Amino acid sequence: MTASNGAPGLAEDREQDMGGLAGLPGLETVAGQLGERIAVLRAEQARRQAGLAITRPAWKNLVFTGGPGTGKSRAARAVARVYAEFGLLSSGHVDEVAAASVAGATLRETGVLVGETVRRAAGGIVMIPDAHAWYRPPDRGQQVLRRLYQELTEWRDDLAVILAGQAGPLRGLLRASPPLAARFPAVIDFPGYTAGQFAAIFATLAGEAGFTLTPDAASKAAAVLAQADGDHGPGNARLAVRLLDQATASQARRVTIAPQPQDPATLSTIDAADIPRHIHPDDRPADDQWPGQYL
């Protein structure tokens, strides 16, 4: 059931919330921009349901620009949920596919790879988290872009594509292919996070995972994140994700060796002892060439 069949107030609340995206510190502006795009698509849907002929429907595709760990994967999941709830797509799934996986050695091979990727994602969203990599080959990604243009034209009613990555190369790709650029009507910039937002992000993610932080744990996490932000460069919320992974592993060891049974509050509490003094190094690539939902 789509939101248009329910109470208007509930639909408006869902649109404002953007699938929970607006509640994450630092993404309020992103949620607002996405909400505006959703409003355009919902208004068009309402006209269609009212029996009006629409021969030039709006595109659902988006471009997300920003560094790693700025919330692009989380935003893609939120968009997919909202699109599905409002009946704009038949499914709310997101397929993340590395740019290299759809760029073949020949035009024919590229066509096959792009076609297979689109068909797998039909009904949902296909997200290319490192689409800026297409700008590096000699042809500036024109093989991929031509095939993507064809597939988008064929599948526009039940597919959305999100190109994500570095702003400069992505804008260069779109400038080089005006017909494709017209199919991506909104470019959303993810600015990254301030050091002061990391503690709030950590608390939000912990709550989503079913945990409660003690005041001492929250204070210690804030200090560890502030130090890590200075060491690793600003804006990357994957630091908060990594710290939460370490904290939950420590908390799991603590509660599993304690006498059983334990009350729910104990099982769901992260205390200061569970927070490590520093964030362990990560062996994953530092940029968006590692597909996955980090935030």
pLDDT for 289 equals 42
Per-position b or e across 195-210, b if 16+ CB within 10 A of its CB: eebbbbbbbbbbeeee
Least reliable range by pLDDT among 165-179, 208-222, 277-291: 277-291
- Quote the CA–CA distance of 101 and 104 in Å, as a whole number: 8
- In degrees rounded to 5, what are phi and psi of residue 38? -60, -40
**CATH 2.40.50 is held by the domain 195-274:** no
* Residue spans per domain, the chain: 3-189, 195-274
Question: pLDDT digits over 1-24, tens only?
Answer: 333 444 444 445 544 556 667 667
Identity at 199, one-letter amino acid code: A
Q: What percent of the chain has pLDDT over 90?
A: 42
- Closest of 138, 142, 187, 182 to residue 162, by C-alpha: 187
The residues pairing with 62 across neighbouring beta strands, listed in sequence order, are: 162, 186
Whole-number average pLDDT of the chain: 84
Question: pLDDT digits over 173-214, tens only?
Answer: 888 888 889 999 999 999 888 877 888 999 989 998 999 999
Q: What is the CATH number of domain 3-189?
A: 3.40.50.300
pLDDT for 2 equals 38
Which residue has tokens 């996986």? 101
DSSP state of 131: G
Mutual angle of helices 215-232 and 238-257, in 10-degree steps: 140
Least reliable range by pLDDT among 18-27, 80-89, 174-183, 240-249: 18-27
- Quote the CA–CA distance of 67 and 38 in Å, as a whole number: 24
Least reliable range by pLDDT among 42-51, 164-173, 238-247, 284-293: 284-293
What the block records as the tokens of 78 is: 């939120």
The pTM (predicted TM-score) of the whole model is 0.81
